Amino acid sequence: MANELDPHCLVALMNYEFKSGQDGSARRLDPPSHLTSGIVDHHGTNVRTFPILDTLAHISVSRPNSQVVAIALQLKPDTKEIRLTIAENQDVADSLVNHLYNIWRKLQALSDEYAGQRKAEWDGDEMLSPVIASDVARPLKIEIFREIYKFSLEKQKKRVNKWLRALCDFMEELEKRRAGVALEGFEWNLYNAVVALVLALKLVFKHSENQLTDDEWEQVYWQSMTANLEAKLVLADRHGLGCDALAQELNGDRDGDPFQLRRALEKLISLPCHIESLFGFAHSPRLRSALQYHMTICAVLGQAQIVILPTSQEQWKSFLEAACGQPGQWQEKDARTLFQKFGSREWKCPVHCECGLIQYLQTKHCDSWDNVPAFSYIGVSKLSCSACRVWIEAFNVLGGPKFYTRGSHGKWYWPWAMPTMGVGSLRENMAGMVLDEYLTQLEKRGKIKKRAGSDSSGAIPSGAEHNISDADSQRAKAMGDAAVQDSGGTLSGFFSDNVQFLHANVPRFVG
């Protein structure tokens, strides 16, 4: 049956079924043990490249809305060449390519400085990277931080606009609940993280044109990295359950869901967290070879396809009957709603970046990279949608190369299109897998009987940490304590003095 159904229509159908949320699929995927073509011939080391590729994709995002980036890696050890292939849901801008070249050159310089400080007696068989003083190459690290922050500033503004005020309200409520009792443990770490974060952001948005002095950027650097260090301790508490428990406690018997504390922290510290991963990349002696290679970047052109869905209520009803293998009374209502939702027009559907990237890697381009296998792990700036997750799974069962991303956020987007390589068995695999998920959803909702044999039933480690020096961290905390005291000694006073300023200077984004 599946080979008779257009997978695009099935994806639109899933978009309708899950219009109010996620489909419940796992958000994270375990790193597969059979990844190919890593930086070195050592799986444990290659696993450390997962967050690096995701980081490079993350720092490639500059627009506040509708930008997703995927990155693949290829190596030629014999000629010491490395290639990054980059894709978006549209064409890749020259400014992004230039940004990555610039950051890569600075990471090479940082790697050289670390190598110069590395002790000669370090044993290459040791699993952990040797310890190097945190103030080594400090000016260069601040320069890298500044360049990345400025490039991603508009995206950072959106995160601030969406999460900061609610996070500060949460902290004020925590202070009230703990009145007369000193904060301890991860609650004290949370306090330090939020205060440092607010002070850093106030500096970032101090000038409308973002013309900070070198000293101000230095302060933004160590305040942001302090917030990152403290927030990671919060997020590590009981593997994130500490955040959930605190949010549930403060929510009490109120209507509505608890505040998404974990999500807010992850979003607001994402930029310094990814920058720290790059510092770890430059620090690693095992991964140093990649930064000694000559790097080139290949930008993939965006793809789109014209898709025609069923053009009437009757056509949708016939499609639902074919998908279910039987008619049902509910199909008349669903067909009417589907036609009202999608209409009879043609849809120009983008090919999402991870799928377009895989197609590019599997296509011959008559150049020296055609026969160089790409690393199986693809870095993405955002978790894959469910349609891309299923398409990659369908591709992986074909028997050829296999590709993986860090997981799916469980949402079905429309418009969405398969790459042009999606013909034959790949198209049939995709249709069959989406159809199975659709029928499973119908079973859960009691629209069809359970089929015989059907079943309806965390972050990747980045290795050594490379944060700021103890002196910078203590300076950030001292400045935070002083700022709170200057505002009357309470978080409510501190937030009143600072958050109002931020929201007056950070434009509100929609979407």
Evaluate if residue 394 carries a pLDDT over 60. Answer: yes
pLDDT of residue 194: 96
pLDDT at 472: 84
Check residue 209 and give its pLDDT.
57
Work out the average pLDDT over 21-35: 63
pLDDT at 129 over 90: no
Q: Higher pLDDT residue, 134 or 402?
A: 402
**Residue 467 pLDDT:** 63
Query: What pLDDT is recorded for position 457?
Result: 37
CA distances 4 to 130, 325, 405, Å, are 58, 12, 29
The residue-averaged pLDDT of 36-59 equals 72
pLDDT digits (tens, 9 = 90+) for 247-301: 999 998 788 889 999 999 999 999 999 999 999 999 888 888 889 999 999 999 9
Q: What's the CA gap between 64 and 324, in Å, rounded?
A: 40
Query: For residue 510, what pLDDT is reported?
Result: 42
- Token look-up 């028997």 returns 399
- Say what the pLDDT of residue 393 is: 93
Query: What is residue 163's predicted lDDT score, i.e. its pLDDT?
Result: 94
Q: So what's the pLDDT on residue 485?
A: 87
Cβ distance 375 to 73 under 8 Å? yes
**What's the rounded mean pLDDT across residues 376-384?**
93
Find tokens 């430059």 and name the residue. 282
CA distances from 231 to 12, 129, 197, 268 (A): 39, 23, 10, 10
Q: Would you tell me how many other CB atoms lie within 10 Å of the CB of residue 96?
A: 20
Q: How confident is residue 435, by pLDDT bands cut at 50, 70 and 90?
A: very high
pLDDT at 487: 86
Q: How many Cβ atoms sit within 10 Å of the Cβ of residue 359?
A: 19
Average confidence (pLDDT) over 122-136: 65
Q: Is the pLDDT of residue 508 over 80?
A: no
Cross-strand bridge partners of residue 84: 73, 297
Q: How far apart are CA 152 and CA 265, in angstroms?
A: 18
- Tokens 């849901």 correspond to what residue? 89
Please compute the mean of the pLDDT values over residues 403-428 and round it to a whole number: 88
Give residue 222's pLDDT band: very low, low, confident or very high (50, 70, 90): very high
Across the range 72-101, mean pLDDT stands at 94
Residue 6's pLDDT is 92
pLDDT at position 128 is 61
**pLDDT of 228 strictly over 80:** yes
Q: Which residue type is seen at 258?
A: P
Output the pLDDT for position 460: 38
- Interval 324-365: pLDDT, tens: 988 888 999 999 999 999 998 899 999 999 999 999 999 999
Predicted local distance difference test score (pLDDT) of residue 326: 84
In whole numbers, what is the pLDDT of the chain averaged over residues?
A: 86
Contact of 413 with 387, CB cutoff 8 Å = yes
In this predicted structure, what is the pLDDT of residue 120? Answer: 57
CB contact at 8 A, 204 and 221: no
Residue 118 burial (C-beta neighbours within 10 Å; 0-12, 13-18, 19+)? middle
DSSP state string for 115-170: HHHS-TT--TT-SSPPP--TTTTHHHHHHHHHHHHHHTHHHHHHHHHHHHHHHHHH
Q: Is 12 exposed, middle or buried (0-12, 13-18, 19+ CB in 10 A)?
A: buried
Contact call for residues 60 and 100 (beta carbons, < 8 A): yes
Are residues 418 and 388 in contact, defined by beta-carbon separation less than 8 angstroms?
no
* Residues 133, 395: Cα–Cα separation, whole Å: 46
Residue 458 scores a pLDDT above 70: no
Residues 6+ positions from 166 with CB-CB distance below 8 Å: 259, 264
